[in-house]
């Protein structure tokens, strides 16, 4: 009797009875070998199905109750050292995987808040500064006699310094000539405000921006905090301050992206951000935030509507100019997570990207958590590679490349031989099989770092910068619009650069907002970037 090519897995007791009858017919016909093959094939597929189900269950339980760190536990470390006797001397520690039914008709009528700018808050302390007339203004333009000061006109805005909210008042002198009534009145000019027409100073505006972007505090929580400090503010006013401040700083983002793309290696990764959308059936759509990070230099975030790749703007920046007289643009080497769609988009630059070793290791870590101890061999090799990188952290690019060629290359070759040896014995859909094929299909891109001392081995910096976005999603949940998401990325980029460079973001933004008039050239904007601001670039 002919054996069917694929027998479906039994799901009920009736199916088991049908399988038993089928095997009995094969035995009665004398096809003992075929019956045994069919039985063992069925048992093998049942075992694989059970292992896959158990793996998914363990992954779900770990996500709910387990630790998120990918370091080895002490008992797991002992298992690994027992398996890897030949590389135990080079293994010192595991690498970090850096990773509402009331009736509305009975409600009392609500009293609407008065609109308008309002009066100066009387309960806030004031810091008064006298602004005198300039030397030219002190002389009457008609008779050249000195003006007689007869009064002042107050201009004020709300400002902030750490620990206090106060009103900064500028008393601008006014003067007139007693002998020339037709000469008019001369008045001193108050310092320009960061936002024209808004009564907010650079310190208060910087606080609003930093608390939302760096400290992940939504605007409604900031309103409550202001109220506790004795300053009652309308939510529309605070929202206007945020929008105008982010729009003012947006002029720095193109030159910041250009500066980061001049680095020899740029890490790139993406995450999602829900955005309100009235036209969407669910009320919101999923946008993408693309992160470009350079270790020790800075980070820039870019928003794209929907789940797009978001690389077109980056690629357009790097492509050669159509003007032959323009100088050639340096093209960095990108470090990515191994996604083929991203690699396909970057192929136009003719420089293959480095794939992340941390992502490759993560698949073996999942296989190890699924109780496949064979994966611990690969994890030992990865740990040796990361140990070498920790030793090379403070070396120069040339010294790092020499160290990698001498020590990392043999470890990579040993790992490649082990993957080749394990390939036939690991079914494709098992966790170990998925890990083996992920690394094997990207092997050339995984090992590019050996040939270039400037290349990082993983996208750890870009993923660490995603923590700021992930924490923000838990606080403000979504962006109000695509424009709001772009503003969020603007302030996130500057705060992320300050954090990476060890700069106080409030000090930086207060200074830049106070020194950033309209009409600045690209060179003047570059002087205000965090990496130039820190090194003492002359003020604009």
Nearest to 359 by CA among 460, 467, 466: 460
Dihedral angle at the C-alpha atoms of 304, 307, 310, 311, nearest 10 degrees? 180
Give the pLDDT confidence score for residue 91 in this predicted structure: 41
* pLDDT at 92 exceeding the cut of 70: no
The arithmetic mean of pLDDT across residues 466-472, rounded, is: 91
- Cα 15 to the chain's mean position, in Å? 51
408-417 contact pairs (CB < 8 A, 24+): 408/449, 408/450, 409/450, 411/381, 411/384, 411/385, 412/385, 412/446, 412/447, 412/450, 414/381, 415/378, 415/381, 415/382, 415/439, 416/443
Dihedral angle at the C-alpha atoms of 215, 221, 225, 228, nearest 10 degrees? -160
Contact (CB, 8 A) for 395 and 403: yes
The arithmetic mean of pLDDT across residues 330-336, rounded, is: 87
- What would the two tokens of residue 417 be? 């031989």
Spatial distance between the Cα atoms of 374 and 429, rounded to a whole number of angstroms: 16
Give the pLDDT confidence score for residue 398 in this predicted structure: 93
The arithmetic mean of pLDDT across residues 468-495, rounded, is: 92
Spatial distance between the Cα atoms of 281 and 275, rounded to a whole number of angstroms: 13
Nearest to 439 by CA among 362, 513, 377: 362
* pLDDT at 295 exceeding the cut of 50: yes
- What would the two tokens of residue 197 be? 């027409």
Spatial distance between the Cα atoms of 206 and 539, rounded to a whole number of angstroms: 19
Question: Per residue in 300-314, pLDDT tens?
Answer: 998 988 766 556 666
- Grouping H, G, I as helix, E, B as strand and the rest as coil, residue 66 is coil
Give the pLDDT confidence score for residue 30 in this predicted structure: 82
* pLDDT at 494 exceeding the cut of 90: yes
- Grouping H, G, I as helix, E, B as strand and the rest as coil, residue 3 is coil
Q: Where are the beta strands (DSSP E) in 256-410?
A: 265-276, 284-294, 298-304, 333-336, 354-355
Beta strand pairing call for 126-131 and 354-355: unpaired
What's the mean pLDDT when you consider all of the chain?
A: 83
Give the pLDDT confidence score for residue 96 in this predicted structure: 41
115 phi-psi bin (left φ>0, alpha ψ -120 to 50, beta other) = beta
- What would the two tokens of residue 91 be? 């293994």
Give the pLDDT confidence score for residue 109 in this predicted structure: 58
The arithmetic mean of pLDDT across residues 14-31, rounded, is: 78
* pLDDT at 116 exceeding the cut of 70: no
- Cα 513 to the chain's mean position, in Å? 23
Confidence label for 31 from pLDDT (cuts 50, 70 and 90)? confident
- What would the two tokens of residue 305 be? 């509507």
Spatial distance between the Cα atoms of 519 and 524, rounded to a whole number of angstroms: 10
Please report, for residues 57, 67, 168, 171, the alpha-carbon distance to residue 64 in angstroms, rounded to integers and kept in the order given: 11, 9, 51, 61
- What would the two tokens of residue 450 be? 């050996």
Confidence label for 403 from pLDDT (cuts 50, 70 and 90)? very high
Confidence label for 84 from pLDDT (cuts 50, 70 and 90)? very low
Q: Which of 105-114, 123-132, 280-289, 358-367 has the lowest mean pLDDT?
A: 105-114
Q: What stretch of H or E contains 129?
A: strand 126-131
Taken as a whole, the chain contains a residue count of 540
- Grouping H, G, I as helix, E, B as strand and the rest as coil, residue 539 is coil
Beta strand pairing call for 164-176 and 126-131: parallel
Spatial distance between the Cα atoms of 318 and 315, rounded to a whole number of angstroms: 5
- What would the two tokens of residue 170 be? 């500028």
Spatial distance between the Cα atoms of 167 and 48, rounded to a whole number of angstroms: 71
Q: Is 518 exposed, middle or buried (0-12, 13-18, 19+ CB in 10 A)?
A: exposed
* pLDDT at 454 exceeding the cut of 80: yes
Give the pLDDT confidence score for residue 406 in this predicted structure: 94
Please report, for residues 22, 23, 250, the alpha-carbon distance to residue 29 in angstroms, rounded to integers and kept in the order given: 11, 10, 80
The arithmetic mean of pLDDT across residues 247-264, rounded, is: 93
Paired with 139 in beta bridges are 146
pTM for this entry: 0.75
- What would the two tokens of residue 175 be? 């003067």
Paired with 345 in beta bridges are none
* pLDDT at 98 exceeding the cut of 50: no
Question: Per residue in 190-223, pLDDT tens?
Answer: 888 899 889 999 999 999 999 999 999 999 999 9
Spatial distance between the Cα atoms of 135 and 137, rounded to a whole number of angstroms: 5
């Amino acid at each position: 009797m002919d054996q069917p090519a694929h027998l479906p897995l039994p799901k009920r007791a009736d199916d088991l009875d049908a399988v038993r009858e089928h095997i009995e017919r094969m035995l009665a016909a004398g096809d003992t070998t075929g019956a045994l093959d069919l039985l063992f094939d069925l048992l093998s597929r049942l075992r694989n199905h059970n292992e896959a189900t158990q793996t998914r269950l363990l992954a779900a339980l770990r996500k709910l109750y387990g630790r998120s760190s990918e370091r080895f536990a002490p008992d797991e470390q002992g298992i690994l050292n027992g398996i890897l006797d030949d590389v135990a001397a080079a293994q010192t520690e595991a690498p970090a995987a850096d990773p509402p039914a009331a009736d509305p008709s009975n409600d009392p009528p609500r009293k609407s808040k008065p609109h308008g700018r309002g009066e100066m808050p009387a309960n806030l302390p004031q810091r008064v500064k006298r602004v005198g007339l300039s030397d030219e203004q002190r002389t009457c333009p008609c008779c050249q006699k000195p003006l007689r000061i007869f009064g002042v006109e107050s201009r004020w805005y709300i400002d902030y310094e750490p620990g206090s909210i106060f009103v900064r008042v500028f008393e601008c002198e006014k003067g007139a000539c007693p002998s020339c009534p037709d000469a008019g009145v001369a008045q001193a000019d108050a310092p320009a405000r960061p936002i024209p027409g808004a009564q907010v100073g650079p310190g208060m505006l910087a606080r609003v921006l930093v608390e939302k972007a760096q400290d992940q505090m939504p605007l409604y929580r900031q309103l409550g905090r202001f109220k506790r400090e004795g300053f009652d503010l309308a939510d529309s006013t605070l929202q206007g301050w945020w929008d105008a401040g982010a729009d003012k700083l947006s002029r720095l983002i193109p030159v910041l992206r250009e500066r980061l793309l001049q680095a020899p290696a740029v890490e790139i990764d993406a995450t999602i951000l829900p955005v309100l959308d009235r036209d969407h059936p669910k009320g919101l759509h999923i946008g993408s935030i693309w992160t470009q990070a350079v270790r020790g230099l800075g980070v820039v975030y870019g928003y794209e509507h929907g789940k797009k790749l978001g690389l077109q703007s980056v690629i357009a920046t790097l492509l050669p100019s159509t003007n032959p007289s323009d100088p050639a643009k340096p093209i960095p080497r990108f470090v990515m997570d191994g996604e083929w769609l991203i690699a396909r988009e970057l192929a136009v630059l003719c420089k293959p990207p480095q794939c992340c070793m941390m992502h490759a290791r993560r698949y073996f870590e999942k296989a190890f958590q699924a109780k496949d101890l064979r994966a611990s061999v690969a994890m030992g090799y990865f740990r040796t590679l990361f140990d070498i990188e920790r030793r090379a952290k403070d070396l120069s690019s040339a010294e790092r490349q020499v160290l990698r060629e001498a020590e990392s290359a043999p470890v990579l070759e040993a790992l490649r031989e082990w993957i080749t040896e394990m390939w036939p014995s690991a079914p494709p859909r098992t966790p170990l099989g998925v890990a083996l094929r992920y690394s094997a299909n990207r092997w050339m891109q995984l090992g590019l770092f050996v040939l270039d001392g400037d290349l990082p081995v993983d996208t750890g910096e870009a993923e660490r910068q995603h923590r700021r976005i992930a924490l923000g999603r838990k606080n403000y949940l979504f962006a109000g619009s695509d424009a709001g998401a772009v503003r969020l990325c603007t302030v996130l980029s500057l705060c992320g650069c300050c954090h990476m460079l060890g700069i106080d973001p409030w000090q930086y933004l207060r200074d830049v907002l106070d020194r950033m008039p309209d009409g600045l050239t690209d060179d003047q904007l570059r002087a205000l970037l965090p990496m130039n601001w820190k090194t003492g670039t002359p003020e604009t």
